[in-house]
């Protein structure tokens, strides 16, 4: 068992660009469920809109990268409007079912053989990351983090990712402290009261859905940029519920919750994964318990039960305020 590698890799992953991408996706979810009380179960759909919204114009139509990022944001806003229009006036479980269905529609369409020329099919959309590769200041150098070696490109995307986390994290922090954020919290606590103050609840909910969706789309862009490929399988329901676990772990309706949550979540997951990987490779554990074929599932099992147990036993997470915890307020 190479403990140095196990630890250094887990720490690396906890601060990697994937963790940054998940932090962004979780910040988006936090705007929806934490501050506004909107049950968005389709955050993966927003992330996919972000990833493919950028990858397709760049790789297939040869747009400039600024235009491509614009298109990615445009598609996230469009998706929010499409999902919000029929459901925001209804009870919250309708939004949940419609968003999860929409996210699956997007993923299945992206995987379709029919549209492979456009979306890359099951192999994913590649060939869009030239502008990132060209602007990478670290080149092909490799950097050593204890036993973990990191290449220049990954380091570059990681830095961009965490800068974006800082930008959107503080944006959400300041917006939620202002009057706009207070209206959202008011909607979460008591819609009718907010309506009696003359605010248009549906309009505010829609703005919240758009803001959180766009942040999720930025997370999707980072996720795709790191692999230089938009992979349809990554934008499944698991992504949404990992983000849920992250935001509940860190603390709903707190600005730092999703960020700290992402770091801790990925550290634990990667640590367990590494220990099992080494244990199975060195045959420390008998193969009927866990083996090279199935150790990878353990992290999903852990994440799932962690989500359930957190909601039951510590719904406020690490930083949350139990009184502000949104699910039990109604």
Partner 1 sequence: MRGVREARRQAIARLVFAFGVTLTLVSFGGNAQAATDEDDSRPEVIVGAVRDQYKDDAGKKVVENVPGVEVIITVEGGAEVTRLITDDKGEFQTEVPDPGNYLVEINPDTVPDGMEIVDSTKTPRTITVNPESQATAIFFLGANTTKAVSRWELLPQALFNGIKLAAIIAICAIGLALVYATTGLSNFAHGETVTFGAFAAWTLNVKMGVPFLISAAIATILTAAVSVGMERGVWKPMRQRRSSLTSMMIVSIGLALGVRYIFQFVYGARYTNYSAFGRQATMDFGPFNATPRTLWVMAICVVLSVLVSAWLLYTRQGRAIRAVADNPALASSTGINSDYVIAYVWLVGGALAGIGGILYGLDIGVQWDMGFRLLLLIFAAVTLGGLGNPFGAILGSLVIGIFVELWAWLLPAATELKTIGAMLILIIVLLVRPQGLLGSPERAG
Q: Which DSSP letter does residue 191 get?
A: H
Task: Indicate whether 90 belongs to the interface with partner 1 (CB under 8 A).
Answer: yes
- Judged by beta carbon, residue 148 or residue 240, the one nearer partner 1 is 240
- Judged by beta carbon, residue 62 or residue 179, the one nearer partner 1 is 62
Cα separations (Å) of 14 from 115, 192, 259, 266? Answer: 35, 41, 11, 5
Task: Indicate whether 189 belongs to the interface with partner 1 (CB under 8 A).
Answer: no
Helix (H, G, I), strand (E, B) or coil at 254: coil
One residue of 248, 253, 259, 262 binding partner 1 per CB under 8 A: 248
- Judged by beta carbon, residue 87 or residue 274, the one nearer partner 1 is 87
Per-residue x/- track, 208-247, partner 1 (CB under 8 A)? ------------------------------x--x--xx--
Binding-site residue total for partner 1 (CB under 8 A)? 59
Site for partner 1 in 116-155 (CB under 8 A): 116, 121, 123
Task: Indicate whether 100 belongs to the interface with partner 1 (CB under 8 A).
Answer: yes
- Judged by beta carbon, residue 65 or residue 94, the one nearer partner 1 is 94
Task: Indicate whether 266 belongs to the interface with partner 1 (CB under 8 A).
Answer: no
Collect all residues with Cβ–Cβ distance below 8 Å to 128 and sequence separation of at least 6: 54, 55, 56, 58, 59, 68, 224, 228, 230
Task: Indicate whether 268 belongs to the interface with partner 1 (CB under 8 A).
Answer: no
> In the block, which residue shows the tokens 């709903």?
252
The 3-class secondary structure across 211-242, one letter per residue, is HHHHHHHHHHHHHHHHHCEECHHHHCHHHHHH
Q: 215: which 2 tokens?
A: 């942040």
Cα dihedral 236/159/63/139 (nearest 10): -120
> In the block, which residue shows the tokens 């974006």?
164
Q: Which residues bind partner 1 (CB under 8 A)?
A: 39, 41, 86-87, 90-94, 96-98, 100-102, 104-105, 108-109, 111-114, 116, 121, 123, 238, 241, 244-245, 248, 287, 290-294, 297-298, 300-313, 315, 326-330
């Amino acid at each position: 068992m190479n403990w140095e590698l196990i630890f250094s890799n887990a720490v690396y992953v906890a601060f990697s660009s994937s963790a940054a991408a998940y932090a962004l996706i979780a910040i988006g979810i936090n705007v929806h469920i934490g501050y506004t009380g909107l049950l968005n179960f389709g955050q993966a759909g927003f992330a996919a809109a972000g990833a493919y919204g950028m990858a397709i114009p760049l790789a297939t139509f040869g747009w400039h990268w600024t235009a491509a990022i614009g298109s990615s944001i445009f598609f996230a806003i469009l998706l929010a409007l499409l999902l919000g229009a029929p459901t925001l006036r209804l009870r919250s479980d309708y939004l949940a079912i419609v968003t999860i269905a929409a996210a699956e529609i997007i993923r299945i369409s992206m995987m379709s053989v029919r549209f492979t020329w456009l979306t890359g099919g099951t192999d994913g959309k590649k060939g869009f990351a030239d502008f990132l590769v060209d602007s990478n200041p670290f080149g092909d150098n490799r950097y050593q983090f204890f036993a973990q070696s990191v290449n220049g490109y990954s380091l570059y995307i990681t830095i961009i990712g965490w800068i974006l986390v800082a930008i959107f994290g503080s944006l959400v922090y300041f917006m939620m402290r202002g009057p706009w954020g207070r209206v959202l919290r008011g909607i979460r606590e008591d819609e009718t009261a907010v309506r009696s103050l003359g605010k248009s609840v549906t309009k505010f909910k829609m703005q919240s859905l758009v803001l959180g969706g766009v942040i999720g789309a930025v997370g999707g862009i980072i996720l795709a940029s790191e692999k230089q490929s938009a992979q349809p399988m990554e934008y499944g329901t698991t992504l949404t519920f990992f983000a849920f676990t992250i935001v509940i772990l860190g603390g709903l309706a707190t600005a730092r919750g999703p960020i700290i949550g992402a770091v801790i979540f990925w550290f634990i997951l990667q640590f367990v994964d590494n220990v099992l990987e080494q244990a199975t490779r060195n045959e420390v554990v008998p193969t009927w318990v866990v083996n090279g074929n199935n150790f990878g599932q353990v992290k999903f099992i852990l994440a799932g039960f962690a989500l359930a147990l957190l909601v039951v036993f510590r719904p406020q997470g690490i930083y949350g305020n139990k009184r502000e915890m949104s699910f039990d307020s109604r």
